[in-house]
């Protein structure tokens, strides 16, 4: 079995929790992993109970396994189980999958919101990965989950915007106009962008969309706006939260290259810039 390793070392698991988790894995035997609230406790989520306080341990196995739940162990099945992360020598489901399995058994809106928000603000994963798993588990029909997802996406956008500000500052890019709307003089609204350099006609747009049931419509609207701006001679640089987190230097180079290439392009159409 291939295991991924968390980026940062975690403190040792208390023995009482460790023994119970080991017992759950031994019960499920091969190709099994801890998931749900138990997994989030292993990731040291503040919003999850500590390992020793987990009443029932969720264990993720392949759908074809013949295994029954017990009083202390809940068997969760997957058509294609993900690659586990190894924590304290235990196989653990990745955070997005563990969150979905935890949320499926929770009715407390406050707990669900705190878990989802901590996943993003704590740097465990991107909002899109969480929403994909919630959608796969058909949890986006539950009102308290939808409300929590809205908070999650707002948190994810705020973090991505902070990273964009940091990129401009740390890599000494020219100061743009932040969070503006673009409009043709006396004409239609062209849409909002997260950063705009009017002298070079370069815009940056953060793609913080998440795959939800209306994703196709959102993607169509986003593509239409981008194509319209580019027909007017405005270069649109598309950045995702993950790219900013994992390769900020490369994204800064992309933006710098677009700014430097402005002199080689035909002049862009004049647009009115308004605060958003």
Burial class (CB in 10 A: 0-12, 13-18, 19+), 154: middle
pLDDT of residue 55: 85
Q: Where are the domains of the chain?
A: 15-156, 161-275
Query: Does the pTM exceed 0.85?
Result: no
CA dihedral 247, 258, 161, 138 (to 10 degrees): -70
Q: What is the pLDDT of residue 264?
A: 82
The predicted pLDDT at position 16 comes to: 60
User: The domain at 161-275 falls in which architecture?
Assistant: 3-Layer(aba) Sandwich (3.40)
> Which positions of the chain have pLDDT values less than 50?
1-14, 213-214
Q: How confident is the model at residue 17, as a pLDDT? A: 63
> Residue 19: phi, psi to the nearest 5?
-65, -40
């Amino acid at each position: 079995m291939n295991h991924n390793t968390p980026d940062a070392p975690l403190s040792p698991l208390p023995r009482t929790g460790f023994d119970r988790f080991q017992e759950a894995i031994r019960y499920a035997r091969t190709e099994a992993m801890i998931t749900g609230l138990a997994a989030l406790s292993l990731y040291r989520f503040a919003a999850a109970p500590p390992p020793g306080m987990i009443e029932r341990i969720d264990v993720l196995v392949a759908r074809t396994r013949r295994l029954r739940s017990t009083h202390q162990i809940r068997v969760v099945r997957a058509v294609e189980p993900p690659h586990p992360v190894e924590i304290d020598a235990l196989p653990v489901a990745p955070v997005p999958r563990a969150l979905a399995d935890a949320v499926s058994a929770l009715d407390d809106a406050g707990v669900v919101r705190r878990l989802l928000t901590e996943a993003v603000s704590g740097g465990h994963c991107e909002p899109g990965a969480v929403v994909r798993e919630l959608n796969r588990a058909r949890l986006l029909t539950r009102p308290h989950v939808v409300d929590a997802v809205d908070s999650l996406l707002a948190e994810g956008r705020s973090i991505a915007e902070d990273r964009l500000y940091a990129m401009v500052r740390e890599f000494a890019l020219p100061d743009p106009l932040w969070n503006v709307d673009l409009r043709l003089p006396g004409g239609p609204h062209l849409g909002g962008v997260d950063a705009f350099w009017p002298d070079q006609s370069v815009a940056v747009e953060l793609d913080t969309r998440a795959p939800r049931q209306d994703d196709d419509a959102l993607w169509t609207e986003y593509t239409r706006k981008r194509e319209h701006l580019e027909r007017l001679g405005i270069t649109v640089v598309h950045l995702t939260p993950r790219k900013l987190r994992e390769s900020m230097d490369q994204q800064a180079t992309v933006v710098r290259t677009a700014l430097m290439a402005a002199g080689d392009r035909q002049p862009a159409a004049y647009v009115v810039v308004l605060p958003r």
